[in-house]
Chain A
Amino acid sequence: MSDVVIQIQGLGKRYRLGQTVDLSRTFRETLATLPRFFGQKARQAARTLAASRAAARAAAESSDPETPPGTFWALRDVDLEVQQGEVVGIIGRNGAGKSTLLKILSRITTPTKGEALIRGRLASLLEVGTGFHPELTGRENIYLNGAILGMNRFEITRKFDEIVAFAEVEKFIDTPVKRYSSGMYVRLAFSVAAHLEPEIMIVDEVLAVGDAEFQKRCLGRMSDVAREGRTVLFVSHNMAAVLSLCTRACLLEKGRLVLEGPTPNVINEYINRAAKEIDVPLDERTDRKGDGRARLTSVSVRNERGESSLRCGDRLRIALGYRADAALKGAKFLVGVYDHFDRPVFFLDSQSDGGFHAELPATGEIVCLTEPINLTPGPCRVNVAVLLNEFLADHVIGACGFEVESEDFYGTGRLTERKNALCLLRQDWDLGTIDA
């Protein structure tokens, strides 16, 4: 008997351009494709529609016969086998097809091509608290949410006390959840999900909720699930979580599965590929978030002497170029530095230095000078963001990268490598005296 519980062959999903965003076509638009029945106005609408179709056609890869104009593949030719009891991480940038893969496997949407076989009961957690109703009490929502996740009444009743205890909401179990604090709400929602007992579990980013303490317990719960021999497919941007939970990882890029293997190797490859992205000038990057009221146009990381080769013990001089239509009020700049596993190392916030109270010119450069960094040699990646009055104006993940080069930090002639430590400290060692 084979132990393969998930078998995916040539799986693909094609979307029409704009379908995921806004294709709630109205009757008018549909009718506009039959212009001979209508007057001048409809013909005009048809022309507009044709123009937008043409634009879509130009945008799509045109030569491919499987990609008709105006469509794109969110997921393409994915082959994957998952053994019973494996915990597989799925990583990739936004839009790489991770969510599409999970949605197909959870049967929320159907594939365009290929097939997937799933042996065993599967539960998917693409979100916690799906179906929670604010007017219902905690108790009622446990039953409702449990049923939505595929549990039956008997099972929910059996687990009820455990669920309530894990969520720590005993006192409020008969209160409508709209009166819960957001922390309580999330705890209860996760708790129901965590007590599912499917053979295969599909989890998407649900760990990015709650306070740090609760996140830790959720991660603990996840590794319990894995230890019990259940199969888990785990999608996350949190490389540290993927690294600690998953034995194997898959890297998706532009809808294709580009690499699978042991987790550290795949994460390394992901970071390396992300580093290549960085060669694109910041101003030309399109993978950004925020409302665009201000745009980050350049970023550079040098040391205090302006050299681009950085050594352990150098101070960082991070320069952010920006552009906006008008003078910036209430601007806040953020810089996050991540290691080769995408684990956060530093977080720099212009507010920690008092912030910019005066208006900033519409175009300019912001410079941040840090304390000496004591990082071991290795690559680092930088995320940048600018907020205006606490609303995200621009945000680029992996805006640039830098390499910390080896340096005889302790003056002993011996180097400490990244695999032993992330950070170095000068230290004094002495024989202690024991006071009686």
Chain B
Amino acid sequence: MAESATVPQISDPPTIRIRPSRGWIAIDFRELWRWRELLYFLTWRDVKVKYKQTLLGFAWAVLVPVGNMVVLGTIFGKVAKLPTDGLDPYLFILAGLVPWQYFANSLSMSSNSLVGYSHLITKIYFPRLFVPLGICIANIVDFLLAFSVLLVMILVMMGLPAATFVLIPFLMLIAMTLALGMGTALSAMNVKYRDIKFVVPFIVQIWMYCSIIVPASLIREKWGSLAYYLYGVNPMAGVIEGIRWCLLHNRMFVEKEGVHSAVEAPWGLMAAGVPMTVLTLVFGLYYFKRMEKMFADIV
């Protein structure tokens, strides 16, 4: 609807049938495609507006993870002396923080998004899914900025990273899918229960300590393989271990029974998180679509 006759791909004016909707409504991908420009504009707006009227602007996307790295690296690496798979503790922490911050920001911003967009939702029709989706896309800009700092640190401290580099987009896709799945569910819940906005920061905080501080190898060593895979049910653990491996570990060698061999890729850990991610996305979209018809009435 609402596309002009000048749009070549739509020839006939559509007939829209408005009916009471019950239960599960399938996602109308054609509708999403028709409105794709709005997704572009919403994303563009989020990026453009985020650092308006700040002195430092996009520098914040870098300063926050670097600041966190200094604090966490000092506490856990230098003071508590937790193992870091033989890596520099600051590098170890930052390699976890960069993907984590993308996930955490996308999650917390999208869970507040529908309420924040209430002026739009009650006044105009558009695919509501674009609200959390736009945020998950817009945050990629911040991620890339923070990631470039991580790269510079790696270049300075360890030299060029290896070809496994190309796996990183796939790992980030897992992080994005998970953020979108949880973001859709939580944003829809937040429309009805404003408790969500208090719960999310708390969860994000705890979750961060569960994902980026302890190396997975330590868990396998101490509690065995079962614990290791259970740890992987948290998809972010796989994503973070995977990114560390892609960037850092595959260029290191460990001594095992007198033989030097390359550090194993955490395939199992990464695989353990995938079903969880898919499940989260399916549930998130299902719940979102089920609640969608009520958004304008109760937001």
A108 & B48 in contact (Cβ 8 Å cutoff):
no
Decide if A140 is an interface residue (CB 8 Å cutoff).
yes
- Shortest distance from the beta carbon of B124 to any chain A beta carbon, whole Å: 5
The size of the chain A interface, using a CB distance under 8 A, is 55
| B191-205 CB contacts (< 8 Å) to partner A | 192-195
Given the known inter-chain contacts A106-B124, A130-B119, please indicate yes or no for A148 contacting B52, CB distance below 8 A.
no
Contact partners of A23 in chain B: CB under 8 A = 298
B124 & A126 in contact (Cβ 8 Å cutoff):
yes
Contact partners of B296 in chain A: CB under 8 A = 103, 108-109
B16 & A197 in contact (Cβ 8 Å cutoff):
no
Contact partners of B298 in chain A: CB under 8 A = 19, 23-24
Tell which of B37, B121, B297 touches A147, judged by Cβ atoms closer than 8 Å.
B37
Indicate with 1 or 0, residue by residue over A202-228, a CB within 8 angstroms of chain B CB atoms: 000000000000000000000000000
A118 & B6 in contact (Cβ 8 Å cutoff):
no
Chain B contact residues, majority secondary structure: loop
B41 & A148 in contact (Cβ 8 Å cutoff):
yes
Decide if B226 is an interface residue (CB 8 Å cutoff).
no
B13 & A121 in contact (Cβ 8 Å cutoff):
yes
B20 & A113 in contact (Cβ 8 Å cutoff):
yes
B52 & A130 in contact (Cβ 8 Å cutoff):
no
Decide if A362 is an interface residue (CB 8 Å cutoff).
no
B297 & A20 in contact (Cβ 8 Å cutoff):
yes
Decide if A309 is an interface residue (CB 8 Å cutoff).
no
User: Which A-chain residue is minimally distant from B50 (CB atoms)?
Assistant: A135
Select the residue from B7, B37, B45, B123 with max chain A CB neighbours within 10 A: B123
Contact partners of A109 in chain B: CB under 8 A = 293, 296-297
Tell which of A111, A130, A198 touches B120, judged by Cβ atoms closer than 8 Å.
A130
Q: Which of A41-49, A150-158, A279-287 participates in binding chain B?
A: A150-158
B41 & A147 in contact (Cβ 8 Å cutoff):
yes
User: Which A-chain residue is minimally distant from B115 (CB atoms)?
Assistant: A24
User: Which A-chain residue is minimally distant from B121 (CB atoms)?
Assistant: A108
| A104-137 CB contacts (< 8 Å) to partner B | 104-124, 126-127, 130-131, 133, 135-136
- Shortest distance from the beta carbon of B202 to any chain A beta carbon, whole Å: 14
The size of the chain B interface, using a CB distance under 8 A, is 43
Contact partners of B5 in chain A: CB under 8 A = 197
Decide if B86 is an interface residue (CB 8 Å cutoff).
no
Tell which of A26, A126, A153 touches B195, judged by Cβ atoms closer than 8 Å.
A26
Given the known inter-chain contacts A117-B17, A123-B2, A126-B124, please indicate yes or no for A15 contacting B297, CB distance below 8 A.
yes
Select the residue from B6, B13, B21, B49 with max chain A CB neighbours within 10 A: B13
Contact partners of B35 in chain A: CB under 8 A = 150
- Shortest distance from the beta carbon of A256 to any chain B beta carbon, whole Å: 18
Contact partners of A130 in chain B: CB under 8 A = 119-120, 123-124
Contact partners of B2 in chain A: CB under 8 A = 121-123, 149-151, 196, 198
B13 & A140 in contact (Cβ 8 Å cutoff):
no
A106 & B19 in contact (Cβ 8 Å cutoff):
no
Cross-chain pairs A/B with CB under 8 angstroms, 28 sampled: A24-B192, A26-B193, A30-B193, A108-B123, A110-B20, A111-B19, A114-B19, A115-B19, A115-B20, A118-B16, A118-B18, A121-B3, A121-B13, A123-B2, A124-B125, A131-B119, A135-B48, A140-B48, A143-B41, A150-B35, A151-B4, A152-B3, A152-B4, A154-B7, A155-B4, A158-B6, A197-B5, A198-B4
Which 7 residue pairs of A and B lie closest in terms of their CB atoms, listed nearest first? A150-B2, A135-B52, A107-B125, A147-B41, A116-B18, A110-B293, A120-B13
15 extra interface residue pairs, beta carbon distance < 8 Å, beyond A117-B15, A126-B124, A135-B52: A15-B297, A19-B298, A23-B298, A26-B194, A27-B193, A106-B125, A110-B21, A118-B16, A120-B14, A143-B41, A148-B124, A150-B2, A150-B3, A150-B35, A199-B13
